[in-house]
Amino acid sequence: MERKPPKLMTPFDSLITPPYLYTLKLIIPYTPPSTQRFLACYIKFLELRYTLEHFHGFPSHSSSKILEELKDYMSPSEKEMMEQMEHMMNMLEMIQSIQAMGDSVSRSEEFNPMEMMKGILTPEQQQMFQMYNTMFESETESPDSGNQKGETNYE
């Protein structure tokens, strides 16, 4: 059986878990079964107490790099999904800034964000973008685009 690498201790756990409590957590599997349940509950109780003591009187802090900090604690598939979300958020911000620039451009001119986006791409990427755009438009405009899985055309 393949052994999984241990997960890192989160920054939050590092703040509220004293070293002796961490050691107690490590020895739970080696204690008699009759004491494992009690020991686990006792550790969780102490963690709660330390958490309440730690945050008593402290203002809350927000981190602008929360997504970057979370990646170390995620599985590869979760990291990939988080990176895709980041890319989508970045793209949305870029589109919003482009639209804001378009609003500041003379109102008499027609502003097309797609044309501006194509200007950022290399000639090869522009050609590929145009090809996919044409394929997508022809597929959505064709009269038989209502075909769905299960019809004879797709079997």
147-141-127 Cα angle (round to 5) = 110
pLDDT for the residue 30: 93
Name the phi and psi angles at 43, rounded to 5.
-65, -45
Print burial letters for 67-86: b (CB count within 10 Å at least 16), e (below 16).
eeeeeeeeeeeeeeeeeeee
pLDDT for the residue 29: 92
pLDDT for the residue 113: 65
pLDDT for the residue 32: 92
Name the phi and psi angles at 52, rounded to 5.
-60, -40
Q: What pTM value is reported for the model? A: 0.37
* pLDDT per residue of the chain (155 residues) written in tens, 0 to 9: 567 777 777 888 888 888 888 888 889 999 998 889 999 999 899 888 888 887 776 555 555 567 677 777 788 888 888 788 777 777 888 777 777 766 665 554 565 666 766 777 778 878 887 887 787 777 777 665 555 555 555 54
pLDDT for the residue 60: 56
Of 54, 51, 70, nearest in space to 7 by CA: 70
Name residue 105's amino acid: V
- 25 C-beta neighbours (distance < 10 Å), count: 16
pLDDT for the residue 19: 85
pLDDT for the residue 142: 64
pLDDT for the residue 151: 53
Helix spans in 17-75 (H) = 19-27, 33-55, 66-70
